[in-house]
């Protein structure tokens, strides 16, 4: 499955999630949840299936707390479908491959850049935030005290982080400019993922299936 084109994987996730809501509960949700969990299990019971179940578990708990049993099952199966399929695609699809697919599909570099740059910046910024927290702790920051003290402490942590990022915006822009980056321009995809006719057909099929299910559901209800 991991060799499939990124768009096919995403289409599958979108279709499963959409069908979970479109098809009548609980049978529809049972089917989509089973499919999503099967995909997760096939990708790796420990690496994918367990994290998916762990993420879904608290929702079931709170659903039981807030709703009766039939609604709990209906909503829970939908959520399980959504969570399991997104966890599955997250484990199967390296971001670099998705970026390549976007570039190869002629989306221009803008969308690919926005996604990839945010993704790669988050861990770096989190590490920086942690360094600021550690530094302020050395200077006596304490997570205790009243609301006012905590808010002031939060400001002392957040402000340097945000300002450092804004200061770097200019240097990053200069670096991109000097390397020939032009928003909206097409660039050479370095390793375009293979996209066969079969996969393209499969994506259309998924779309048609969702549309048909929706039409059937509306007609059946009305």
Assign residue 184 a region: left if phi > 0, alpha if psi is -120 to 50, beta otherwise? left
Pick between residue 155 and residue 201 the one whose CB is nearest to another protein.
Answer: 155
Residue nearer to another protein on the CB measure, 2 or 130:
130
Interface pick for another protein out of 38, 57, 122, 212 (rule CB under 8 A): 122
Q: Which of 3, 58, 146, 194 binds another protein (CB under 8 A)?
A: 58
Each residue 68-107 as x (binds another protein by CB under 8 A) or -, in order, gives: ---xx--x--xx--xx-xxx--x---xxx--x--------
42 binds another protein (CB under 8 A): no
Q: Does 146 bind another protein (CB under 8 A)?
A: no
CB-based contacts of 209: which residues, under 8 Å, 6+ apart? 15, 19
- Biggest alpha carbon distance in the chain? 67
How far the first Cα of the chain sits from its last, in Å, is 39
Residue closer to another protein (CB basis): 169 or 219: 169
Q: Is 179 in the site for another protein (CB under 8 A)?
A: yes
When binding is defined by CB under 8 A, the residue of 3, 46, 65, 219 that contacts another protein is: 65
Answer for which of 41, 50, 133, 207 binds another protein (CB under 8 A) is 133
Q: Which two tokens stand for residue 201?
A: 């057909």
Q: Tell me if 119 contacts another protein by CB under 8 A.
A: yes
Which is closer to another protein, CB of 159 or CB of 205?
A: 159
Say whether residue 115 binds another protein (CB under 8 A). yes
* Smaller CB separation from another protein, 57 or 208: 57
140 binds another protein (CB under 8 A): no
Q: How far is CA 67 from CA 54, 70, 83, 107, 147, in A?
A: 21, 8, 20, 44, 34
Alpha-carbon dihedral 154, 156, 160, 166, rounded to 10 degrees: 50
CA distance 55 to 46: 13
Closest CA to 73 of 54, 59, 53, 52: 59
Taken in order 100, 106, 111, 114, the sign of the CA dihedral is: positive
Cβ nearer to another protein, comparing 119 with 205: 119
| 181 part of the interface to another protein, by CB under 8 A | yes
User: From the CB of 63, what's the least distance to another protein, in Å?
Assistant: 5
């Amino acid at each position: 499955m991991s060799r499939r084109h990124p768009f096919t994987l995403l289409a599958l996730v979108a279709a499963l999630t959409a069908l979970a809501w479109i098809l009548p509960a609980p049978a529809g949700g049972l089917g989509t949840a089973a499919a999503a969990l099967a995909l997760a299990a096939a990708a790796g019971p420990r690496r994918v299936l367990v994290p998916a179940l762990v993420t879904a578990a608290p929702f079931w708990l709170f659903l039981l707390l807030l709703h009766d049993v039939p609604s709990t099952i209906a909503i829970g199966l939908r959520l399980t479908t959504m969570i399991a399929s997104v966890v599955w695609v997250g484990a199967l699809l390296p971001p670099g491959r998705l970026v390549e697919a976007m570039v190869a599909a002629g989306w221009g570099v803008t969308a690919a850049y926005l996604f990839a740059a945010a993704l790669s910046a988050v861990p770096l910024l989190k590490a920086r935030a942690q360094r600021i927290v550690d530094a302020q702790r050395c200077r006596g920051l304490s997570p205790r005290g009243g609301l006012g003290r905590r808010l002031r402490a939060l400001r002392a942590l957040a402000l340097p982080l945000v300002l450092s990022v804004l200061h770097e915006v200019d240097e990053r822009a200069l670096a991109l400019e000097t390397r020939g980056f032009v928003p909206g321009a097409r660039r050479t995809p370095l390793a375009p993922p293979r996209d066969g006719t079969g996969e393209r057909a499969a994506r259309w099929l998924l779309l048609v299936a969702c549309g048909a299910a929706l039409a059937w559901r509306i007609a059946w209800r009305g």
